[in-house]
Amino acid sequence: MTTWPSWQPEVLSFLPAWLWKVICIFLVLQMPPILVSLLVWAERRVSAWIQDRVGPNRVGPFGLLQSVADLVKFVFKEDVVPGQVNRVLYSVAPALAMVPGLVTFSLLPFAERFMVSDLDSGLLMLFAISSLAVYGIQIGGWASNSKYALIGGVRASAQIISYELTLGLAAAVVVLFTGSLNLAEMVRWQSETRILGLLPAWTIFVFPGGTVAFVIFITSAFAETNRLPFDMPEAESELAAGYHVEYSSMKFALFFLGEYAAMIVMSGLMTTLFLGGWSLFGLERVMEGTIWQTLIQTGIWWAKTLFFLFVFIWIRWTLPRFRYDQLMRLGWKVFLPLSLANLLVAAWMRTWGMWGASA
Amino acid sequence: MEGLGFYGFGALTLLGALLMVTSRNPLHGVLWLVVSFLGLSGLFGGLGAHFLAAIQILVYAGAILVLFLFVIMLLNLRPDDVERMPTFSLRGGVGGFLVGVVGFCAVVGSVVMGTGAFAKPVAGLPPLEAGAADVAIPLFSTALLPFEVVSLLLLAAIVGSVALTKRRLP
């Protein structure tokens, strides 16, 4: 059942419950656009740092307002619609690419008492909605009616379908250990269980199931979000710009926003599933029940997620691009058997009571 | 409010299904089918069956129809090919109509007469708002044999389609 966050900070207790919910939704909906603009800036600064350049540092302090300047440029650019395109689908595609990224934000558990919806099958719902993002790319590639865009769209759909399997199987290991599909429950299990009475049972530490699942998950996440080294759908050297080659102005920016929002959601999912979400060695229990606890937990969650976002950028500017057949071989012939075997081992561990919710 | 959700999603499901059947371009047809499935998932959600709602999107809209789209995109239909496609064929129309009438009569009839499988909930089935565990436990205990038989059927379909479409290399 859907349970809304009924908890309301004391300071704001004069607000009616529904208004508080609306405020929660509003706050969460503000996150993706703000974060994406920061992330674009971070991407450029980090890439410059890795390549021993300076990067954008003119607009605002440390160049922080560069994204605002970029946005203004996007808005004022001419929206060129090429003559050969399927007009309706061409215009719908960027929105379809962006919406799943925004919607999945409502399912992420930022803190014990700060999430928009706390569904029993939250993990499944999150996978379900994020699996719709492929339509934007696919339709955008097809409606552009150009060969590079079409190849980009076809590549994206094949790649995302392939790696969704391993992504799901890796997450299933976490489900086995924590005994729940509810994201908040998963975090609670990870923060309350101990390994050898010492380490918190963050799934990444549960050897071998958790660690292997984490490696599979993070690699599949790169393929799912079309990031280097798996960015074949938009490989510049092969396809010009792939599925968004015919797009300009804000339509292009929406594709961009969708890609980065998906990246944030994937990072958040890695935090939640494998790194104990909002928990950090008992720090999440400080000032129990106050708004400060929620703020601390949200801070921990975001610190971990930002770390993963950094890893995304770091890897992009470190590794070269794979070849498409290598990507497919890796997915189907290495990761799929590996994740199936891992799931089997995890199931055994669970059955014999070495690990798991009841252990 | 609940009525609004029901009629809204119901209308979306029907509209999607109708436009899927009538649209000439197969790619548009697939997209309308996605819309229809999203509406169906909304209906499940309104009934409190969140697990079903998620699975509906995850399996059908998120995976199977993506593959449909994939195949249709690779068919490389030209606009004039699409123009020449008939929107209605008599044989298909009559056949579809008959199947629809039989199915509709079977469902409505069994509900009205109160004798069929739809009249009352079958004993041992999980409740509608079941979570993953309620679905999984019968699947691996009481309904194990049918479940395995269905998976065998799927395997046979896969082998069959490979055998039908594989070209012999000269």
The domains located in chain B, with CATH, are 1-88 (1.20.120.1200)
> In the 8-state DSSP scheme, what is residue A200?
E
Residue A6 is assigned to a structural domain of this protein: no
Give the Cα separation of A308 and A251 in Å (integer).
27
In Å, how far is B27's CA from the nearest CA of chain A? 9
Specify the pLDDT at position B12: 92
Residue among A288, A304, A313 at smallest CA distance from A110: A304
Is B69 within 8 Å of A138 when comparing Cβ atoms?
A: yes
Specify the pLDDT at position A2: 40
C-alpha distance from residue B16 to each of A326, B35, B38 (Å): 38, 5, 9
Same domain, A133 and A206: yes
Tens of pLDDT along chain A (359 residues)?
344 445 666 666 777 777 877 887 888 888 888 888 888 888 888 888 888 888 788 887 887 888 888 888 888 888 888 877 777 888 888 888 888 888 888 888 888 777 777 777 888 889 888 888 888 888 888 888 788 888 888 888 888 888 888 998 999 888 888 888 888 888 888 877 776 666 777 878 777 778 888 999 999 998 888 887 887 777 777 777 777 777 878 888 888 888 888 899 999 999 988 888 888 877 777 777 677 777 888 888 889 999 999 998 898 888 888 888 888 888 899 999 999 999 998 888 888 876 655 54
Interface probe with B: pick from A121, A138, A146, A160, most Cβ of B within 10 Å: A121
Residue among A217, A190, A183, A216 at smallest CA distance from A205: A190
- Confidence check on the interface: ipTM exceeds 0.85, yes or no: no
Q: Which helix H or strand E contains A95, and what residues bound it?
A: helix A87-104
Q: Above 90 in pLDDT, residue B36?
A: yes
C-alpha distance from residue B32 to each of A72, A136, B75 (Å): 35, 14, 19
Residue A74 is assigned to a structural domain of this protein: no
Same domain, A92 and A183: yes
Residue among A349, A149, A104, A335 at smallest CA distance from A239: A149
| Average confidence (pLDDT) over B145-154 | 90
> In the 8-state DSSP scheme, what is residue A114?
B
- Closest to B58 (Cβ–Cβ): which among A89, A127, A138? A127
Contacts of A120 in chain B (CB under 8 A): 50-51, 131
Same domain, A19 and A119: no
Is A131 within 8 Å of B58 when comparing Cβ atoms?
A: yes
Chain A interface, Cβ < 8 Å to B: 1-2, 89, 119-121, 124-125, 127-129, 131-132, 134-135, 138-139, 141-142, 150, 153-154, 157-158, 160-161, 164, 181
End-to-end CA distance of chain B: 64
Is A128 within 8 Å of B62 when comparing Cβ atoms?
A: yes
Q: Which domain holds residue A293?
A: 80-351
User: Which residue would you say has higher pLDDT here, A358 or B71?
Assistant: B71
Same domain, A88 and A56: no
Same domain, A206 and A273: yes
Same domain, A194 and A331: yes
Is B34 within 8 Å of A150 when comparing Cβ atoms?
A: no
Same domain, A162 and A57: no
Q: For chain A, how many structural domains are there in total?
A: 2
Task: Tell me which chain B residue has its CA closest to the CA of residue A132.
Answer: B62
Same domain, A95 and A178: yes
Tokens 């197969």, residue located:
B26
Same domain, A104 and A229: yes
In Å, how far is A143's CA from the nearest CA of chain B? 10
Task: Tell me which chain A residue has its CA closest to the CA of residue B61.
Answer: A132
Same domain, A222 and A285: yes
In Å, how far is B2's CA from the nearest CA of chain A? 14
Sign of the CA dihedral running A200, A201, A203, A207: positive
Amino acid identity for residue A36 in this structure: V
Amino acid identity for residue A14 in this structure: F
User: Which residue would you say has higher pLDDT here, B85 or A258?
Assistant: A258
CB A169 within 8 A of CB A335: no
- Of A46, A69, A92, which closes a domain? A69
What token pair was written down for A112?
Answer: 């014990």
Residue A175 is assigned to a structural domain of this protein: yes
Kindly give, in sequence order, each residue whose CB lies less than 8 Å from that of residue A59, ignoring residues fewer than 6 positions away: A65, A66, A68, A69
Residue B122 confidence class, pLDDT cut points 50, 70, 90: low
Is B69 within 8 Å of A131 when comparing Cβ atoms?
A: no
CB B48 within 8 A of CB B6: no
Grouping H, G, I as helix, E, B as strand and the rest as coil, residue A111 is strand
CB A253 within 8 A of CB A71: yes
| Angle at A84 (CA atoms; ends A79, A87), nearest 5 degrees | 60
CB A184 within 8 A of CB A109: yes
Beta-bridge partners for A3: A118
Specify the pLDDT at position A159: 86
